[in-house]
Structure 1
């Protein structure tokens, strides 16, 4: 109730007319997707049962919508003269000059009610909305970051063809059965919130790449990345021993020890927020920073371990600083030209786009590293067009999946940065 009271006070003015719908979704059980474990016999034996239960292939639906977006993107690129002195991808504002996309995105915002969104007038007032009177110091910490310092360019994501994800249709309240096991005793699928798939899709993994999952426990996103069958190496990292134990158990349970894929996973225990002790520098093509956050849905649902409990007040106050430290190390871990996907499961701008802006300023000032934001508009419009995702397009950086009752995924914030130097 403490968490819900704070969300009403802070998120209500921030999200305006959309807040009652978001609140209802947040306080209602979330919707799950079923990620097929193609390393298990049980998946091939039982996947047809999912269709009989009324589930359908979500990844195929996203790919169908996404293919249309890619065709549009290629048409836009083809309009750039070959003699252009700038070989970089078209900036986002040029892409948005296309009349059809303007109309599509306007319809998208209108149909979601996002045209009624109440924007913040500045960093400090945003902190006033996001944090109560005792917590305003967090907003002051972040007001020195200049949002205009991070350039934005258009970016097209290629979806992994090997990934198999099923969901029940919009409006359905059906539940997936527990994962079956075959003779190999490997579970046939992994159940997770439908928005948790998005950070892995945003990584745009390629064949032969190396990947780091900075805060990997309990292991769902590392497993999804492995099931794409694209990276040559996945380093799954966590620091707390309890979380590291959960990570090891999950991967050991879902990945056959004698499989080729098992040899691609390395588990490490390192403090991802420690700048001085972090030695994974310029090592990876792709880095996922799915950072600790206020976990809004859990905060309004469970008392145990709730970050809004009085004993966790300081931990909650320190979250943006912790998140920024992790993101800085994530950027440092990328090779030049490599990318970081930053994600949280909170609605808080202080933990989302403000962390992006602060981290970009910090890596430039402290380590001489420049970054650019990769637009994920094509991917998120494709997700919206499936009818399964409600998208907030009013973030200063990145995109946010909003809970809503007909298809109750999220919240999930995602932003992608590429290291330039």
Structure 2
């Protein structure tokens, strides 16, 4: 006879391996790895300022709208201005006028006091008129004009205490002298002050072992690519001129305004109306200062925004767009087809040439007047937002650590492609001083030791001052060879480092 045994059901928590909820909750993503690495490395380099940069990097960045000159240009400009966007050209002209007010004459003497007083009074009146117009309406409810309040001005006959006049005169002279000194004085050698920028390069100790931490490598491994001793001719000279292309229309929103631009629309010519790009990306091609008749190379052209900006200046007669992968060239060609009218008949193979190759191996030496060298980098903003194609993926550790070596190889070879007297702009979208000043240093040293090429680094301090109302720039004491747009919440562009170099021999 069979006995029936009682079955007891016990609650059991089923294990599901890697898909278990608490495992997934604590799984580190590629973006997490990037953020941990940046906290470790940039926290050491930038100190307390890294917190503000970090917050901006983790926030959606601002764009600049580039109007397509081959579409409905006037209508597009009107649409952008109606939405509150500002033409960057007008901001540049305003900054140039402001700079001219405090410029000294060639002999070093200050303009006479009466002339300066009249200019300052004119600026003050213009500012007061703007403020009054913003507060008081121009017309009443019945359509009649509203009389604006009179401005308060001191007349020459009005009696004021002698002490007040003396203090005002003293304050005015002090402020004017200070403004003139700040505007004209340039540090020729621009020595790096460790307390501002790259001090962390010398204080931060690299890890000796990563046993049990196979998915992480210290950013300090990059330090072996950064050298501070100068054993080659180093010449740094101020760039004295800047020309904003007459036909280039770029629009942005004022600092603190994070409004979004409307999506591009089809024009009557069949091309798109405007192109949206990170604001920092406009600076490298602008500072390249391409002139009509010059042969230009974009060494790492994809996805194509900077190449398109060079074409929108209407100065380009011959542009070679190079990239290393066929898939990247396809993206580049697609952008050109969408924005260039009569693309196949007028552009492809004639004024616009596509080339697939490693920029380290291009051999058309001394054949280009200008070169844009926007090298592959850690793409700091991208790696904090996108999991796919992330350079901080564990399987790409060696590739990431060799980025400075790749960058210096590209820059050194591009210096050989330049004609004597030609210029290039090297740029990255990284905050890393190793990928920025460090790579420039390494490349300048390499081309001199291997090929006897001497160069001059162009100090763009005066030029970036014209963009101070749009971007936030890194402190000049933290940089030696270039300038850098740093992420900043009210003006959330970048990061974008750029350095301009002219070949001498």
- Category of TM-score, reference length = shorter chain: 0.7 to 0.9
Q: Distance in 2 between matches of 1:283 and 1:71?
A: 41
RMSD (Å), alpha carbons: 2.7
Q: Distance in 2 between matches of 1:74 and 1:351?
A: 37
Q: Distance in 2 between matches of 1:67 and 1:419?
A: 32
SS in 2 for 1:166: strand
Paired residues of 1:205 and 1:231 also in contact (CA < 8 A): yes
Paired residues of 2:45 and 2:201 also in contact (CA < 8 A): no
Paired residues of 1:33 and 1:194 also in contact (CA < 8 A): yes
Which residue in the other structure is 1:100 paired with? 179
Map Cα deviations across residues 337-358 of structure 1 (whole Å, 9 max, x no partner).
0001000000000000000000
Deviation at residue 149 of structure 1 after TM alignment: 4.0
1:2 to 33, 48, 54: 33
Change (3 A) 1:102 1:348: farther
Match status 1:266 vs 2:266: no
Which residue in the other structure is 1:95 paired with? none
Which residue in the other structure is 1:91 paired with? none
Match status 1:373 vs 2:373: no
SS in 1 for 2:467: helix
Map Cα deviations across residues 362-381 of structure 1 (whole Å, 9 max, x no partner).
00111111011011011111
Which residue in the other structure is 2:89 paired with? 59
Match status 1:326 vs 2:407: no
SS in 2 for 1:323: helix
Paired residues of 2:360 and 2:409 also in contact (CA < 8 A): yes
Which residue in the other structure is 1:143 paired with? 227
Which residue in the other structure is 2:8 paired with? none
SS in 2 for 1:313: helix
Which residue in the other structure is 1:24 paired with? 55
Which residue in the other structure is 1:355 paired with? 439
Paired residues of 2:473 and 2:483 also in contact (CA < 8 A): no
Larger-gyration structure (1/2): 2
**TM-score between both structures, scaled by the size of structure 1:** 0.85
Change (3 A) 1:63 1:211: farther
**TM-score between both structures, scaled by the size of structure 2:** 0.72
Which residue in the other structure is 1:241 paired with? 326
Q: Distance in 1 between matches of 2:336 and 2:497?
A: 25
Please, which moves more after superposition, 10-19 or 292-301?
10-19
SS in 2 for 1:170: coil
Deviation at residue 16 of structure 1 after TM alignment: 1.6
Which residue in the other structure is 1:110 paired with? none
Match status 1:50 vs 2:80: yes
Which residue in the other structure is 2:283 paired with? 198
Q: Distance in 1 between matches of 2:104 and 2:366?
A: 31
1:166 to 246, 251, 263: 251
Change (3 A) 1:2 1:38: same
2:68 to 16, 32, 37: 37
Q: Distance in 2 between matches of 1:179 and 1:188?
A: 5
Paired residues of 2:320 and 2:354 also in contact (CA < 8 A): yes
Match status 1:389 vs 2:389: no
1:251 to 326, 332, 336: 336
Match status 1:120 vs 2:202: no
SS in 2 for 1:35: strand
Tell me the number of residue pairs that the alignment of Structure 1 and Structure 2 aligns: 388
Change (3 A) 1:128 1:414: farther
Map Cα deviations across residues 241-285 of structure 1 (whole Å, 9 max, x no partner).
1111111111121111257566421111121023xxx21211111
Runs of 5+ consecutive residues of structure 1 not aligned to the other structure: 81-97, 107-114
Paired residues of 1:157 and 1:201 also in contact (CA < 8 A): no
Paired residues of 2:307 and 2:321 also in contact (CA < 8 A): yes
Paired residues of 1:199 and 1:343 also in contact (CA < 8 A): yes
Q: Distance in 2 between matches of 1:137 and 1:408?
A: 29
Change (3 A) 1:72 1:239: farther
